[in-house]
């Protein structure tokens, strides 16, 4: 029986999330009383004001370059006029004010007819800064030019709302734990039993049917899945990890408080948002191994299993294309701009390939194979060698297409973002072969129009992060999750062996990632890249997934220190929650008009409230035993 206090804790979490509204609201500033230009700048999130004062006799050109932009060209920020004569003796420095991005440190370049100086600076959100350009020796035409930055107004700490929200949720966890402890005390337990018995007796007396419709389980445990016997076991750790990935996915999809690290990385590298989709794919592969193994053990027809897989694949793809349509506001059948690739489409096709592979090569009782052979320690790989051959061939196809396919106007094997990246040489080559294939197969109007690289790298070519070529590595990711499922099956009941195998795979995949990336963000053979679903991205995220599954499996299923709540509940209803959060994203109570649209605090509160509501919905569905399976 689930502790009653937990449901109260979830409701409290929703209310507590609203408190973040009180701590993050900093109004965007319209500056007055500053320089003539500065008062016209209205600041938004992740922006600061920079006023440049020019005491030179020539006009300045100010350019900027983000540290996060790899091999990029400087971008012009604006001009600053030369020193102006006000009277016979007095001269006033020319000045201009600019809004500047604060997400990452930037390099400022100041030029006249030649480069004057460069300034490397990290600007804080809503801060006011002055940059003075002066000459040290006016009597000498070749005097040294100095560039000095001064803070006129201190920036705000935009990360405080995250700290407050974290403390609120930690407090709620403590309250829930205390509530469960109090419920476990004998006097409280006896009181609750007497009250529940009295309520049940009154219900029976007042019932027209005269008898209850449910019979309590004598073991005190309820079935986790409809149709399963009370004795069947389900790994809570899998649903917990799936739910964790889903909850983070909902939070970042809703905006993540508009923090840059809760959004997808511009190109190479990882943010929190880049972790969750691969984990979801990984756990899908693990679940395929366990569910199909159960079907094969009872000798289910493989043809019927193939038909069921085909149905599920088609259902997921159609849901992604027609239900979760980002252009639905233009009409239910806006064919001209309908996006064909997508998250559910990627999930459906990945599921279809990996499930068919397991149906054709899977074994009902793998734990009994090759126990006496010398290669027994590697039997979780060797007895499935046809699957591994297929996966390695798939990966060879990805490598060959990525690095050998000729793309018009682009170098072979190009993995960059295009735009101003690579110093602007390949502006229309975004994604290399992956982008070219999508534009050729689907057409530019039917893929994602606003890729994450567009803002930083100034790209103008559409690029879809769920691209067709990346499907290959998505299948590889699911297959590595399938491998985790086989470890569960082959070493059933041997918890130490399961943990050691998970550790082995995480180390192996980590070593492969280190070699491919040279332990760097941009300088490796194949950088970690979510947009391309590069092989290094798959091995890195699979390494993390094995470690995370090891920890959750140990805490939830072995030691039972944790029930998996609250992530367990959305993990049990993942498709319903994912589709629901996409369809109702723009409706109250998941979104409302904010008092200050330029406040990280209010956005964070709104996104936390929306995410918490979906956790509550999944909890209620779990208690009602409503599970939507495709």
Catalytic positions are 264
Q: Which residues contact 368 (CB under 8 A, 6 or more apart)?
A: none
CA dihedral 462, 281, 481, 618 (to 10 degrees): 170
Calpha distance 15→581 (Å, rounded): 19
Strands 128-135, 47-54: pairing kind: parallel
Residue 522 has a CB neighbour count (10 Å cut-off) of 15
Element (DSSP H or E) covering residue 128: strand 128-135
Q: Which two tokens stand for residue 453?
A: 């690289």
Q: Which residues of 561-578 are buried (b: 16+ CB within 10 A; e: fewer)?
A: ebbbbbbbbbbbbbbbbb
Element (DSSP H or E) covering residue 96: strand 94-101
Strands 94-101, 47-54: pairing kind: antiparallel
Calpha distance 355→287 (Å, rounded): 10
Three-state DSSP at 30 gives: strand
Backbone dihedral angles phi then psi of residue 497, each to the nearest 5 degrees: -65, -40
Give the DSSP letter of residue 529: B
Q: Which two tokens stand for residue 566?
A: 């609250």
Which contacts of 514-523 are long-range, i.e. CB under 8 A and separated by 24 or more positions? Answer: 521/70, 521/268, 521/269, 522/70, 522/71, 522/268, 522/269
> Cβ(327)–Cβ(339) under 8 Å?
yes
Calpha distance 344→321 (Å, rounded): 8
Q: Which two tokens stand for residue 508?
A: 């192996």
């Amino acid at each position: 029986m689930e502790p009653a206090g937990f449901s109260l804790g979830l409701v409290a979490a929703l209310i507590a999330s609203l408190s973040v509204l009180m701590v993050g609201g900093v109004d965007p500033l319209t500056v007055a009383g500053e320089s003539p230009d500065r008062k016209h700048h209205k600041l938004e999130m992740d922006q600061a004001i920079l006023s440049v004062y020019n005491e030179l006799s020539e006009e300045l050109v100010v350019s900027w370059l983000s540290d996060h932009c790899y091999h990029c060209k400087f971008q012009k920020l604006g001009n600053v006029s030369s020193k102006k004569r006000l009277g016979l003796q007095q001269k006033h420095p020319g000045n201009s004010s600019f809004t500047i991005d604060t997400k990452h440190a930037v390099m400022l370049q100041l030029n006249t007819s030649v480069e004057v100086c460069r300034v490397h600076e990290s600007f804080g959100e809503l801060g006011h800064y002055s940059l003075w350009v002066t000459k040290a020796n006016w009597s000498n035409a070749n005097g040294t030019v100095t560039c000095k930055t001064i803070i006129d107004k201190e920036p705000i700490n935009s990360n405080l709302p995250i700290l407050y929200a974290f403390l609120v949720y930690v407090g709620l966890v403590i309250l829930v734990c205390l509530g469960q402890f109090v419920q476990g005390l004998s006097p409280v337990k006896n009181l609750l039993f007497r009250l529940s018995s009295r309520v049940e007796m009154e219900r029976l007396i007042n019932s027209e049917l005269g008898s209850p419709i449910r019979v309590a389980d004598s073991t005190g445990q309820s079935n986790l899945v409809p149709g399963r016997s009370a004795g069947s076991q389900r790994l809570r750790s899998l649903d917990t990890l799936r739910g964790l990935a889903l909850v983070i996915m909902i939070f970042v999809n809703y905006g993540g408080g508009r923090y840059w690290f809760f959004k997808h990385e511009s190109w190479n590298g990882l943010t929190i948002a880049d972790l969750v989709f691969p984990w979801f794919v990984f756990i899908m592969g693990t679940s395929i191994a366990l569910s199909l193994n159960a079907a094969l053990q009872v000798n289910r027809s493989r043809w019927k299993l193939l038909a069921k897989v085909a149905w599920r694949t088609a259902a997921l793809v159609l849901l992604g294309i027609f239900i979760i349509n980002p252009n639905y506001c233009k009409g239910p059948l806006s064919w001209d701009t309908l996006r064909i690739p997508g998250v559910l489409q990627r999930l459906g096709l990945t599921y279809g390939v990996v499930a068919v592979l397991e149906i054709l090569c899977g074994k009902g009782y793998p734990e009994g194979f090759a126990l006496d052979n010398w290669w027994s320690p590697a039997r979780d790989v060797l007895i499935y060698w046809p699957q591994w051959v297929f996966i390695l061939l798939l990966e060879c196809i990805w490598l060959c297409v990525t690095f050998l396919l000729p793309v018009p106007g682009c170098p072979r094997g190009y993995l960059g973002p295009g735009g101003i990246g690579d110093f602007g040489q390949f502006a229309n080559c975004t994604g290399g072969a992956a982008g070219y294939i999508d534009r050729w197969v689907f057409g530019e109007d039917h893929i994602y129009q606003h890729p994450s690289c567009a803002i930083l790298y100034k790209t103008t070519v559409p690029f879809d992060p769920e691209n067709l070529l990346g499907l290959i590595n998505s299948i590889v990711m699911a297959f590595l999750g399938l491998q985790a499922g086989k470890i569960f099956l082959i070493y059933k009941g041997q918890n130490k062996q399961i943990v050691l195998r998970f550790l082995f795979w995480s180390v192996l995949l980590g070593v492969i990632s280190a070699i491919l990336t040279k332990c760097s963000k941009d300088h490796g053979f194949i950088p970690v890249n979510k947009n391309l679903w590069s092989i290094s991205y798959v091995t890195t995220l699979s390494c993390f997934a094995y470690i995370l599954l090891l920890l959750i499996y140990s805490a939830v299923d072995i030691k039972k220190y944790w029930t998996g709540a609250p992530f367990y509940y959305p993990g049990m209803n993942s498709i319903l929650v994912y589709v629901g959060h996409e369809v109702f994203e723009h409706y109250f109570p998941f979104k409302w008009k904010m008092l200050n649209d330029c406040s990280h605090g209010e956005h964070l509160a709104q996104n936390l409230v929306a995410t918490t509501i979906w956790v509550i919905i999944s909890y209620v569905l779990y208690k009602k035993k409503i599970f939507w399976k495709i």
